[in-house]
């Protein structure tokens, strides 16, 4: 019994008919409004709410989760083709043919995201109550977290690309604020700036995509764009697809915009878990899967997606192998795992469902491991260098066991979660292109190596702690959420895969197709498991059974390159930053003829106030007039040239 409808009928039913919200479904707006209200209260009330602010944050997120569960139960009560609900809130812009309503769209895809965001989000809110208990700005932290949850929900619930863009900017803002939360640390301030700049590059892609969509289709709603995608020219669709890919690369830290994610680990660890692992960084995957109808009709754009996913998958994994900072190793892993998802999304209908399946399960096990890392740091005086860990299983039993669940899940050891989604992605990749298949298999092997290395260096081997470290288990308020996530990492894959439950649920949106392979069904999983076993063994032997040096050995060329993030920053610096600096310096020099010497790029100290008030502009009118004359000549010449 095949639950799939097949690709042939796809174009006709690219967008399921939407049903207007009624009854329970009129609550959809509450999903966003609750955390938004929480953020507003926490950020406006100021210090007055310091004592109870964090609990309000938790409450807002929990309430949103409860609404999500109610809606989910409601959706289950509908038949599969009636599960696309739209709620009209108000008309944002409606001018002649240009119509942008503020509509929310709840369907199987957005419901999945809503449950992930509010569910994992709430757990991380609870965890943060403990983790941030010593921070005097804890209330502000919860305000930002609520702002993030609201923006992310808007992103996935929007029924048109313009509203999605609002959410897209909102999560970018929240991410920026949270990476730089400890703004007094220079590294955090620089990292948040970098994330901002790189994300702006991605945002350019999204805004271009939205504008080309509007000009091509006369609409930016999902129905208007995706429903008539088959009628547009392939060229327009390719451009839209590439612009969307640029947007996805920025938000999801994919090649060539990957460099910000590793630095983003400067934010508090709960932020790394929620925003930079489980939810926001997967927005790119959502965007591509949601825009499937465009990529289906633009093969060139789709190939670009696969290539970007494949490159990032390997890059992230290689970087993860060389990092000694536990959070950066996990960040490399996140890049790599999102590479898997992007690659799967690029495979088309054979991959969409598994991209989302892997995204969901990754949300569980990666959040589990990040929170575990946070727990380790909590007990180790915020030490992040794994060479100073070791043997922590003896003192942090709960952290050890919960982390092991995440570790086995990402390795893809049955019956842990990753097994069910990653193997399917590998199979789907092989069904489309052997090269993509090999990359995903190779990635699985490397993943096993670096995750085992991380796990062994942290919890096994011998203790390499600093003398003043007194590792202890974290309080229950931190470990309870971790335990829930560990449980989900252990069983969610098996449960959701039972009887193809999850894939069937998504089918009306993704129109999934079963990958067809020329080899027997057991070959791919077995090969993958063998590679995983080899990778894990290669890491386990040196890092768990032999002493780990306290100072990292020089390493070979690849190791050194991986430690330097595969020179991502060096490339950025050479190609963008240094020319930019030269340009700035030249502009300042140029401008200095106009202003005087106080300009120097960074905020200079105030000085010589009296001198400043007497200051003259030294820009000469005659040179201004000359440039006007030159400009006029150029304008005239341009007109004549065009006529010729």
Binding site for other proteins (CB under 8 A): 91-96, 98, 162, 165-166, 169, 180, 183, 189, 196-197, 200-201, 203-204, 207-208, 211-212, 214-215, 583-584, 587-588, 591, 594-595, 598-601, 603-606, 609-610, 612-617, 619, 621, 624-625, 627-628, 630-632, 634-636, 638-640, 642-643
- Give the integer Cα–Cα distance in Å for 190 and 173: 15
* β strands within 381-525, DSSP E: none
Smallest distance from other proteins to CB 114, Å: 21
The string of DSSP codes covering 491-516 is HHHHHHHGGGHHHHHHHHHH------
Q: Quick one: which of 274, 516, 465 has its CA closest to 374?
A: 274
- Give the integer Cα–Cα distance in Å for 505 and 501: 6
Contact 174, 148 (CB under 8 A): yes
Nearer to other proteins (CB atom), residue 530 or residue 628: 628
- Give the integer Cα–Cα distance in Å for 128 and 481: 10
Nearer to other proteins (CB atom), residue 6 or residue 630: 630
Smallest distance from other proteins to CB 572, Å: 15
Smallest distance from other proteins to CB 92, Å: 7
Q: Quick one: which of 330, 484, 495, 518 has its CA closest to 420?
A: 495
Smallest distance from other proteins to CB 53, Å: 17
Alpha helices in 498-565 (DSSP H): 501-510, 523-544, 557-563
Q: Quick one: which of 328, 327, 336, 339 has its CA closest to 371?
A: 327
Alpha helices in 23-132 (DSSP H): 28-45, 53-77, 108-131
- Give the integer Cα–Cα distance in Å for 172 and 21: 29
Smallest distance from other proteins to CB 638, Å: 4
Smallest distance from other proteins to CB 252, Å: 18
Over the Cα atoms of the chain, what is R_g?
26
Nearer to other proteins (CB atom), residue 207 or residue 385: 207
Phi, psi (5° rounding) for residue 381? 55, 40
Nearer to other proteins (CB atom), residue 1 or residue 616: 616
Nearer to other proteins (CB atom), residue 547 or residue 579: 579
Nearer to other proteins (CB atom), residue 280 or residue 386: 280
Smallest distance from other proteins to CB 444, Å: 37
Smallest distance from other proteins to CB 625, Å: 6
Q: Quick one: which of 477, 490, 472, 495 has its CA closest to 394?
A: 472
Nearer to other proteins (CB atom), residue 550 or residue 594: 594
Nearer to other proteins (CB atom), residue 247 or residue 315: 247
Nearer to other proteins (CB atom), residue 555 or residue 580: 580
Nearer to other proteins (CB atom), residue 85 or residue 198: 198
Smallest distance from other proteins to CB 643, Å: 6
What b-and-e string marks burial along 372-407, b requiring 16 or more CB atoms within 10 Å of the CB? bbbbbbbbbeebbbbebbbbbbebbebbbebbbbbb
Smallest distance from other proteins to CB 46, Å: 8
Taking the CB of residue 59, how many other CB atoms lie within 10 A of it? 16
Taking the CB of residue 169, how many other CB atoms lie within 10 A of it? 18
């Amino acid at each position: 019994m095949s639950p799939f409808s097949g690709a042939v009928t796809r174009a006709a039913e690219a967008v399921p008919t939407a049903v207007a919200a009624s009854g329970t479904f009129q609550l959809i707006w509450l999903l966003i409004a609750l955390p938004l209200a929480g953020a507003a209260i926490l950020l406006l009330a100021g210090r007055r709410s310091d004592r109870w602010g964090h609990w309000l944050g938790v409450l807002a997120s929990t309430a949103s989760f409860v609404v999500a569960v109610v809606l989910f139960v409601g959706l289950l009560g509908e038949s599969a083709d009636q599960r696309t609900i739209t709620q009209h809130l108000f008309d944002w812009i409606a001018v002649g043919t240009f119509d942008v309503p503020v509509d929310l769209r709840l369907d199987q895809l957005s419901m999945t995201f809503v449950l992930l965001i509010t569910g994992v989000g709430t757990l991380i809110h609870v965890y943060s109550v403990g983790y941030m208990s010593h921070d005097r700005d804890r209330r502000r932290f919860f305000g930002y977290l609520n702002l993030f949850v609201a923006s992310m929900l808007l992103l996935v619930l929007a029924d048109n690309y313009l509203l999605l863009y609002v959410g897209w900017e909102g999560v970018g803002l929240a991410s920026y604020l949270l990476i730089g939360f400890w703004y007094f640390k220079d590294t955090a301030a620089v990292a948040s700036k970098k994330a901002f700049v790189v994300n702006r590059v991605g945002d350019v892609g999204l805004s271009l995509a939205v504008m080309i969509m509007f000009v091509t289709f006369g609409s930016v709603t999902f129905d208007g764009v995706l429903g008539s995608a088959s009628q547009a020219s392939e060229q327009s669709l390719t451009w839209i697809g590439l612009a969307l890919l640029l947007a996805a690369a920025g938000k999801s830290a994919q090649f060539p915009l990957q460099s910000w994610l590793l630095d983003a680990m400067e934010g508090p660890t709960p932020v790394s878990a929620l925003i930079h692992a489980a939810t926001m960084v997967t927005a790119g995957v959502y965007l591509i899967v949601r825009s499937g109808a465009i990529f289906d009709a633009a093969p060139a754009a789709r190939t670009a997606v696969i290539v970007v996913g494949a490159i990032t998958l390997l890059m992230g994994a290689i970087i993860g192998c060389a990092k000694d900072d536990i959070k950066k190793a996990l960040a490399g892993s996140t890049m790599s795992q999102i590479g898997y998802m992007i690659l799967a999304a690029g495979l088309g209908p054979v991959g969409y469902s598994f991209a989302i399946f892997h995204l969901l399960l990754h949300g569980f096990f990666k959040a589990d491991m990040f929170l575990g890392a946070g727990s380790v740091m909590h007990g180790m005086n915020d030490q992040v260098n794994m060479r100073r860990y070791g043997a922590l299983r003896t003192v942090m039993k709960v952290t050890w066991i919960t982390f092991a669940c995440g570790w086995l899940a990402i390795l893809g050891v049955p019956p842990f979660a990753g097994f069910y989604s990653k193997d399917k992605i590998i199979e789907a990749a092989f069904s489309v292109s052997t090269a993509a298949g090999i990359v995903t298999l190779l990635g699985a092997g490397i993943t096993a190596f670096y995750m085992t290395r991380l796990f062994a260096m942290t919890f096994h081997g011998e203790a390499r702690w600093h003398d003043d470290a007194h590792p202890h288990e974290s309080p229950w308020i931190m470990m309870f959420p971790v335990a829930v996530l560990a449980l989900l990492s252990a069983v969610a894959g098996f449960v959701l895969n039972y009887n193809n439950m999850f894939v069937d649920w998504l089918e009306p949106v993704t129109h999934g197709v079963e990958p067809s392979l020329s080899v027997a069904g057991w070959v791919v999983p077995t090969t993958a498991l063998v590679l995983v076993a080899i990778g894990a063994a290669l890491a386990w032997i040196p890092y768990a059974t032999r002493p780990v040096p306290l100072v990292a050995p020089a390493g070979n060329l690849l190791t050194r390159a991986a430690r330097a993030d595969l020179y991502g920053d060096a490339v950025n610096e050479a190609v963008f930053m240094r020319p930019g600096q030269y340009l700035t310096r030249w502009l300042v020099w140029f401008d200095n003829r106009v202003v005087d010497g106080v300009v120097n790029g960074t905020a200079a100290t105030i000085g010589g106030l009296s001198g400043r008030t007497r200051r003259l502009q030294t820009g000469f009118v005659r040179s201004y007039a000359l440039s006007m004359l030159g400009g006029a000549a150029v304008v005239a010449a341009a007109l004549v040239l065009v006529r010729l």
